[in-house]
Structure formats: structure tokens, C-alpha cells
Chain A
Amino acid sequence: MTDAPETYSAKEEVGQVRARRTRWERAKIELRKAPLTAWFGMVVIACYVFVAVFAPWLAPYGEADSSFGAYLPWGDGHVFGTDQIGRDIFSRMIYGARNTMGIAFVTTILAFLIGGGLGLVAAISRGWTDQIISRAVDVLMAIPSLIFALMLLSIFGSSIPSLIFIIAVLDSTRVFRLTRAVAMNVVVMEYVEAARLRGEGLGWVMRREILPNIMPPLVAEFGLRFCFVFLTIAALSFLGVGIQPPTADWGSMVRDNASLIQFAQYDLKAGITPLLPAAAIALLTIAVNFVVDWFLMKTSGLRDEV
């Protein structure tokens, strides 16, 4: 038995400040435990974002540079060939990432500002305000959103600002429903009542008391909404009423090159050219879904049964 001095004291141990892990350390631990699908999703999203941000440096040719022969085959200076008026498809795919994702991102943020804001207001004030907003949202949701978007686009014309605004308003109805539902559970808590009793305004209660407590479902919804907005914009562009040429966009690229599919028997590479932008859309949707699934499982401990 060594005679090390008896240095242990219970008082000292209790007195020690418990070292908390920093946010970054906690994130690292969570990431290490993330399943393979979530990793796959995050890597894909990171690649897309990288391509979107650095598009002008990555693309070999300009977005609307049509100085090449039309319908050139794959290879030979053009990785995926050229389209019907001689634009490099690979470059347009890269710029398309920037345009389609950028517009979808701005639209989703706008939808959350409108829908989230109104949802919080409705949940906090209740009464007439809640009734009026909720019934208006019910009516808006009774019309299928693609049909509604088509109708509004025919009135306001297809420009990027009106596209963003129309889709943001239509999608904000779903955000409103979710925000109102989750905020309703928080509004009845004592600390919210305490904040109100000490005379805090609507803005404070919204930002400081309720919002931090309903963040996880809203973040998950942001991912899913983004996918939905992204698909809607792609569908509208595919129909020819969304993003207008010469702006590169995945939806309209599918439409422009669709006729190439008839030549798949003679040249398979040409045949799958129109499918590339569509596949890019599908891959991003799958990636976001994987990450959202993982995030939901982490934050709520619940697994979506579906």
C-alpha cells in the first residue's frame, strides 16, 4: 500500500465546474454516430452547394454561350455534348444548380417568413385573428398548388420575382399550419404566460419565448419544403412557364432536350442526356430526405413509422 496523500474531498469535487462540451464538440460526436444514409445525404448536398456557389469558375463555358454546333455528341470538349442551339450542356447543368437551387432557397425562406410569422401570430393572439387567418389558409389550400401557381403566373407573367413570390405565398400555407400547430402547444406553457404578464410585446414572445422551443420541427419542415418548392419550380420550368431562357435551369433543360430521347437506339449517350438534369433533381431530393429523416430521429427520438 502506497502512502499517497489522501487528497480526495467530496467538497472539492462538487465545487468543480463541470466542463461542458462546446457546440462544435457535440456536433462532432453526433456526426460520428450518424447513419450511412445521412452521411450520403450530407455529402451530396455539400457537393451541390459547392457547385452552385462556384459555378462561374467550374463551368468550362458560359451559361448562354451558343457558339458551338447544335447537338454535338458527348466528349470532344463537351462532356455531355451541346443542346439544340449549341450550348454546352455540362456548363448549363452547373449554372442550373445555382439558378434552380438559389431560387428554391429564396422561395423557401420567404415562405417561412410569411407562414411562420403568421402562424406564430395566430397561435399567440388566438381569437378572431386566428380564425380569419386559418380560414383564409383553408380556402387557399383547397386549390391544388400547381394549378393555382399556373393561374397566377398567367396573370402576373412568368418572371423570376413573380415566380418566387407566388410559390412562396402558396407554400406558406403549409408552413402556417405546422407553425400554428406546434406553437399552440408552447403558448400554453407557464413561462410564456410569465413573459406576457411582465408586459413583453408580441415580437419578444414570438422570438425569445416560442421560436427557440419549436425550432426542431421547423428545421425539418424547412428541408422538406425546400424539396417540394424545388420540385414545383422544376415542374413549372418544365412546362415552360417557370424560369425563362436564357437562364439555365434543370426543368427547362429536360424540356429542351427531350427529343434526343428518340435517338437512344442509335446513341445511348444522346438518349440519356435529357435525363441528366432530371436525375440531378431526384438525387438532391433523396439526399435532403435522408438528412431530414436523420435529423427528425435525433431531435424527437421518434421514428417516422411510414
Chain B
Amino acid sequence: MHPILSTVLQRLGLGLLTLFFVSVIIFSSIEFLPGDFTEAVLGQTATEETVAAFRRELGLDQPAYIRYFDWIGSVMTGDLGQSFSGRASSGIDRSRAVADLVAPRLANTLFLAAMTAIIAVPLALTLGITAALYRNSIYDRVVNAGTLSTISMPEFLVAYLLILFLASLNPIFPSLANVNADTPFWERVYKCALPALTLTLVIVAHMMRMTRAAIINLLASPYIEMARLKGLKPSTVILKHALPNAWAPIANVIAFNLAYLVVGVVVVEVVFVYPGIGQLMVDAVTTRDIPVVQACALIFAATYILLNLLADIISIVTNPRLLHPR
């Protein structure tokens, strides 16, 4: 078998295995619930029958491994279970399917993340590569100082500073990103401007510093020095010698930061009251709505693992040493 194919398959298998273990962890969280949990969900006046019915619905009368395969099977088919909220002690079930709660919000979050990525990735790469090329110049120092101070700030400080200057003192953008399914595209972009800008600032800082470090590391290697000493043009050195080896670190940087976006999005959505999946998860944590929390955690974790997997595969596929095996 071609060495690339076998390495990629190996990495894919490892990723799937990780995903499996993560799903087991997320599933087993329900095992640790304290015994009086049904009471907390159904209220203290719940009758014996309601409690028994609820426990049967959760499947607590069956062994854990059967429940796990039931759960993972229905997750595969898009059925994420029923939310805990809306259940009454009387036994009337007004709860909604988790999938219906999650789907529209997932779309909103993906929109925000995509908008951020479109702005942030080219910006960060340009800044990082130019800062590495003009190392120790004034430009490099300014960019570095700027990104260092953004990194030290918690996301919500960046968000509120932007609100203070761009929404409150100079009302340019709205401070609440209250979009819904009917919002037209450009209005949606306008309303998402501040959340996207916050996320951009946060991840550009990380991405730029990592890109700069990767490029500097690469430019210090002997074969680049050799190419320079040979008298090649700087553009040839960068494009033909440095870039093929730079794809792997750059892909890693991008994937790492998009994965970081997954976490940052939670705080930013809460600040701007953006109806995304992060806010749904925080609300569900406050009300201890476990099925919703599980679904959100699974989506976040899967995105995170897949992005890292993608970065690994890109770095394998673009590795010149594997592309031209001896």
C-alpha cells in the first residue's frame, strides 16, 4: 500500500476510536446523576407512576451497554432524545425533541464561525508570515505587542470593549445579535459584525503568533540557508523551498484555532445574546437539562476531534518526505 494511504487510514482509525471513547464518556455522564434527580426534573409532587415511567424512559432499568448502543444508534439517525424541560409532575409531557432545539441554533453558530473564519484566517496568515519575514522590525514588534495584549484578555473583556466603543459610545453596530430564521442575509451579517469581530481578534492573535513561530522555525533550518547561500531569489526560496514544508504547520495552526473557536463561541454568544448552540448549552447547564447538554457536548467534541484529524491528514498528505518515498 502507498505509505500515505496507510498513514492516513491509521490516523482515521485513531480519530474514530477517540470519538468512540468520547461518546462513551459523554453518555456515561448520566450514570453519575444523583438518585433524587427525577425529583429535580419532575418536581417534588411527582407521583410514583410518573417517576417510574420517567426512569423507564431514561432506560435506567436496563444495563448500561444496551443503553449506550441504543443511544449512539439513535444519535446516528439524528434522534438526540427528548429534552428534560417542559416535563410536569402530573405526567403531561410538553417536552421538545433535542434535535429540534439544536438544529436551528447549530446553523446560527456555523454561520458565525464561518464568517469569523473567512475574515480571520487570511488576516492571521498574512500578519504571521510578514511578521516572520520582517523579524525584529518595528512592524513585527507592533503586531506582536498588539496580539500579546489581546491574548491576555478574557474573551468577554474584548467583547465588552468592542460594545463600549462601537455600539455604545459610537453607535455603529448593534450590541445585540438577535437574529432569527427570517433575517435577510446582509442584515444578519450586519448584526453578527461585533460577535464575529470579537472572535476574529481573539483567534487572529493566537493564529498569528503560531504562524510566525512556525515560519521562523522553518527559515532557520539548514536547507533554507543553503538555498540562500546558493544565491536563489528570495521569492524562489520562499515559494519552492519553504512553502512545501510550511503547509503542515500552517494547516495545524488553522485547525487548532478553528477548534479553539468552538470554545470561544460559547462565551461570545452569551455576551451578544446570539441564539447559537453555545448559549443553548449554557442555558441547559443552568437548568440541568442533561439530554441537551449531552447533545451539545457531543457536537462540540466531534467538531473539535474532526478538525484536529483534518489537520493531521493535511500535514501527512502535504509532507514532501512521504510524497516522494525512496
Contacts and interface: CB of A to CB of B under 8 A. Distances in A.
A89 to B, nearest CB: 15
Chain A interface extent, by class: 35 or more
A234 B154 contact: yes
Interface string B4-22: 0000000000000010011
A235 B153 contact: no
B175 A262 contact: yes
A153 B300 CA distance: 16
A144 interface: yes
B22 A143 contact: yes
B155 to A, nearest CB: 7
B282 A278 contact: no
B266 A261 contact: no
Contacts of B263: 144-147
A168 B251 CA distance: 31
B322 interface: no
Interface string A101-121: 000000000000000000000
Given A142-B305, A144-B259, A238-B267, A151 B168 contact: no
Interface string A135-168: 0001100111111101111111100000000000
B262 interface: yes
Nearest to B21: A139
Nearest to A278: B157
Interface in B122-160: 149, 152-157, 160
A305 interface: yes
Contacts of B296: 147
The DSSP consensus for interface residues of chain A is helix
Interface stretch (A1-9, A73-81, A190-198, A264-272): A264-272
B36 to A, nearest CB: 12
- The majority secondary structure among interface residues of chain B is helix
Interface string B247-276: 000000000000100110011001100000
A241 interface: yes
B157 A275 contact: yes
Contacts of B161: 275
Contacts of B105: none
A144 B300 contact: yes
A261 B213 contact: no
A171 to B, nearest CB: 14
B212 interface: yes
Contacts of A139: 18, 21-22, 25
B301 A142 contact: yes
A153 B285 CA distance: 7
Top-10 shortest CB links A-B:
A278-B157, A264-B168, A154-B285, A285-B152, A139-B21, A282-B153, A306-B213, A147-B300, A286-B152, A151-B297
Interface of A: 138-139, 142-148, 150-157, 231, 234-235, 238-241, 251, 254, 258, 261-265, 268, 271-272, 274-275, 278-279, 281-282, 285-286, 289, 305-306
Given A147-B266, A281-B157, 4 more contacts: A151-B293, A231-B154, A239-B285, A285-B153
Interface of B: 18, 21-22, 25-26, 29-30, 32-33, 149, 152-157, 160-161, 163-164, 168-169, 175, 209-210, 212-213, 216-217, 259, 262-263, 266-267, 270-271, 281-282, 284-286, 288-290, 293-294, 296-297, 300-301, 304-305, 308
14 contacts: A139-B22, A144-B259, A146-B263, A147-B297, A148-B297, A152-B29, A154-B284, A235-B155, A241-B285, A251-B156, A261-B163, A261-B164, A271-B169, A272-B164
